[in-house]
Amino acid sequence: MNTVIDAHQVSKTFNPTTIPILAVNNVHLHLERGEFTALVGPSGSGKTTLLNLLGGLDKPDKGSIFINGVDITKLSPNALIDFRLNNIGFVFQSFNLIPVLTARENVELIMQLQHKDRREINERVETLFREIGLEDKLDTRPAQLSGGQQQRVAVARALASKPQFVLADEPTANLDSKSATNLLDIMAKLNQEENITFIFSTHDVRVIERARRVITLVDGQIHSDTAKVSTEVPHTAQKRTP
Amino acid sequence: MWLLKLAWKNMWRNRNRTAITIAAVFFSVILSILTNSLQDGIFDNLIKNVVSFYNGYIQVHKQGYWDEQILDNTFEGTSALEDSILALENVNALAPRLESFALASSDTLTKGCLVIGISPEKENSITELKNKLKEGEYLNEQDFGALIAEGLAKRLKLYLHDTLVIIGQGYHGAMAVGKYPIKGILKFGSPDLNDQMLYLSLPAAQELYGAPKMLTSYVVGLENPSNLDPTAEILRDKLGNEYEAMTWEEMMPEVVQHIRTDKGSLVIIQGVLYMLIGFGIIGTLLMMMVERKYEMGMLVAIGMKKRKLMQLMLIESVFTVLSGCILGMLASIPIVFYLNRYPIKFKGELAEVYEEFGFEAIFPTSTNPEIFLTQGLFVICMALLLSLYPIVKIARLDPVAAMKK
């Protein structure tokens, strides 16, 4: 089965009893394994909300989201946490590493939550740090790493659990140009060589240029869904799904 | 194991905050232990002074003696009676007494006093009377000398080897008159005892009062004073209606009342102290929750179960509080022992006020290990109870809301 995410008629309204804001409106979305997809759109278009719904961090008011065949909208809060741990990797905008742990320990944490044995953890950590090019920073604390390096560690942490896909919420927003390019190179490499599925929410043209599929959201609805895009995505995109 | 490691590292994430919390718990534990040990020490000292040094823990009298303390209410002391009391499990000593009030006179001065006829060695085994000897020699069993308390001697202007005259009413209304050389001068902690006590050997007192073989009381020594009431109960059952067995608490209700009143006011002081500790801990927990809300949201988002996060918070709280508690307990040991050895002493007018009420104006601490453990455990339990706050917050944590900046 190559389908990773299958979302049907997903809607989410904030403040339903006061001033309702329809953040995500009747979205259908289908993602296959190995996709490198960017969710784009103006601020308030519903990118982060949709990402939260796909990541099981929030529940839709309507619709269903199947990940690897499991409807995550039907899972209990505890089961959902377990599901996230084993199936979804997260990369946040502001790195979000635990400051008291070293780079290695930040990555190990996920596998410790999965009750992996020490040997497996060590092997995985070494592999991941080799892939992100930070083998020499294993025992360094986040405060001693640059923003780009911290985000690379965050990517390693997201991949540590061997997830079905990685959700990255504006991963390059706080990075300089060089660091952003470096990070994108690493993620693109992991995507191509290891077939890891990445979904980004972003405003960054560098991410959009590298994405093989760009979904544009406007007012909570999918405005366009294109397989290959230019930098003027919202205006020139070709509609694929309603 | 990794959770413990993470908790330990988190504890030192904000060194100042952790240090402040540890310091708050540290000083609170010291204060709490000191307050308690001082309270127990003062009461122990009071009981030791007023009860154990004279009254003993239990006294056996003829039925009705305590209500009407006259020589006509005496009983005959027999070895069979003594043996039956000594045979009881918790009883380790027995001292016979014949006591009555009389007038003590020197050349030109006269003062009321309590004349107590004792078996010197048996009395010493219970009240350690020999230790009170300031000058001279202790009595022997057939002695016809007297031991006089320092305050009484001073009022009568009598010194060692002077002669003292006792005048009073004896058994069945007989005249009681006697002349006794002062063999020793005693010093009591309690000013009340110091101003009125006069000791004779039992045969000398029985001869003075014309009451051969008669006793007013048996003072009972206990191996374990905490079993006071059960022992008194057994004694009553054994002796029947002819005798009364009274505990020091029954004989001195004013002391019991004083202890109760004082304990009541100390409970309020301790309550305030515990509230301060509580506010210190909850303040830290509040700061910590605000500071780490985003991170907690992130941890739940990436797959840490809330139960695990709660454990983490609980371990962090326990680590912090336990550190402060253990340090506080360790630091309080030398202070408590020092104040036990060199007790706080009031001087001047304040001391006089205490002495007027019959108490020594000294405040030793109690070194009972139970105090250290109880106070330490209490603070730990309180901290654990307060840790429910972050636990409830985590239970309600919404990762998306927590990660909104």
pLDDT for the residue numbered A154: 92
Note whether A100 contacts B9, CB cutoff 8 Å.
yes
pLDDT of residue B12: 82
The fourth-level CATH superfamily of domain A35-57+73-236 is P-loop containing nucleotide triphosphate hydrolases (3.40.50.300)
pLDDT of residue B258: 81
| Nearest C-alpha in B relative to A56 | B301
Q: What is the rounded distance in angstroms from the CA atom of residue B375 to the CA atom of residue B54? A: 33
Note whether A173 contacts B: Cβ–Cβ < 8 A: no
* CB-CB under 8 Å, B294 with A109: no
pLDDT digit string (tens) for B183-217? 999 988 777 888 999 999 999 999 999 999 999 99
Residue A95: the pLDDT is: 66
- Tell me the pLDDT band of A236, cut-offs 50, 70 and 90: very low
Where does residue B261 rank: exposed (0-12), middle (13-18), buried (19+ CB within 10 A)?
Answer: exposed
Question: Three-state DSSP class for B312?
Answer: helix
**Predicted local distance difference test score (pLDDT) of residue B50:** 66
Identify the residue among A113, A153, A157, A169 best suited for mutation to test binding to B, counting B beta carbons within 10 A and taking the highest: A113
Query: pLDDT of B67-120, one tens digit each?
Result: 999 999 999 999 999 999 999 989 989 999 999 999 999 988 999 999 999 999
| Cβ distance of A109 and B2 shorter than 8 Å | yes
**The predicted structure's pLDDT at residue B198:** 96
Q: What's the gap in Å between the CA of A72 and the closest CA on chain B?
A: 14
Rounded to the nearest integer, the mean pLDDT of chain B is 88
CA distance B264 to chain A (A): 47
Residue A37 CA to residue A223 CA, distance in Å, equals 15
Judged by CB atoms closer than 8 Å, whether chains meet at B303 and A86 is answered as: yes
Top-confidence residue, A110 or B258:
A110
Judge whether residue A119 has pLDDT over 90: yes
**Are B71 and B170 spatial neighbours (Cβ–Cβ below 8 Å)?**
yes
Q: Please tell me which of the candidates A58, A81, A157 has its beta carbon nearest to residue B300.
A: A81
Please tell me the predicted confidence (pLDDT) of residue A233. Answer: 37
Nearest chain A CA: its distance from B310 CA (Å): 14
Which of A207-211's residues contact partners 24+ apart within 8 Å by CB, and which partners? Answer: A207/A38, A207/A171, A207/A172, A207/A180, A208/A38, A208/A40, A208/A233, A210/A36, A210/A184, A211/A36, A211/A37, A211/A38
A-interface mutation test, from B6, B12, B15, B302, most A Cβ less than 10 A away:
B302
**Contact criterion met (CB < 8 Å) for B399 and A57:** yes
* pLDDT at residue number A240: 41
Mean pLDDT score, A160-180: 87
Question: How much is the average pLDDT of B303-327?
Answer: 89
Q: Could you report the per-residue pLDDT of B126-147, keeping only the tens digit for each?
A: 888 898 899 999 999 999 999 9
- Rounded average pLDDT over A135-151: 91
ipTM for the assembly: 0.85
Closest residue of A to B402, CA-based? A57
CB A90 within 8 A of CB A158: yes
**What's the Cα-to-Cα distance from A19 to each of A61, A221, B45, B385, B401, rounded to whole Å?**
16, 19, 72, 40, 18
Using the Cβ of A113 and the Cβ atoms of chain B, whether some distance falls under 8 Å is answered with yes
Residue B162 pLDDT > 90, yes or no? Answer: yes
For A23-37, what is the mean pLDDT?
92
Average pLDDT over residues A124-134: 90
Mean pLDDT value of segment B346-366: 76
What is the token pair recorded at A127?
């592999």
CA distance A170 to A218: 17
CB contact under 8 A, A101 and B6: yes
CB contact under 8 A, B13 and A82: no
Q: Do A82 and B403 touch (CB under 8 A)?
A: no
- A176-234 residue pLDDT tens: 888 888 888 888 888 888 888 999 998 888 888 889 999 999 999 999 988 864 443 33
CB pairs under 8 A between A and B: 57
CA atoms of B149 and B189, how far apart (whole Å): 11
Alpha carbon separation from B403 to A169, B90, B294, B325 (Å, rounded)? 12, 68, 5, 34
Q: Could you tell me the pLDDT band of residue B257, with boundaries at 50, 70 and 90?
A: confident
DSSP-assigned letters across all residues of B190-226: SHHHHTTEEEEEHHHHHHHTT-TTEESEEEEEES-GG
Q: Given a cut of 90, is residue B360 above it in pLDDT?
A: no
Cβ-defined contact of B400 to A52 (cutoff 8 Å): yes
- β-sheet bridge partners, residue B104: B111, B166
Token duo for residue B170: 């004896």
The pLDDT value recorded for residue A6 is 93
Average pLDDT score over residue span A4-13: 93
pLDDT band at A110; cut points 50, 70, 90:
very high
Which residues of chain B are within 8 Å of residue A90 when distances are taken between CB atoms?
Answer: 301-302
Q: Cβ of B303 and A81 within 8 Å?
A: yes
The per-residue pLDDT for A242 is 38
In the prediction, which pLDDT does B355 show? 65
Residue-level pLDDT at A228: 62
Which residues from B are below 8 Å from A114, CB to CB? 303
| Tens of pLDDT, residues B227-245 | 889 999 999 999 999 999 9
Per CB-CB distance under 8 Å, the chain A contacts of B294 are 96
| Nearest-CA distance B18 → chain A (Å) | 14
Q: Where are the domains of chain A?
A: 35-57+73-236
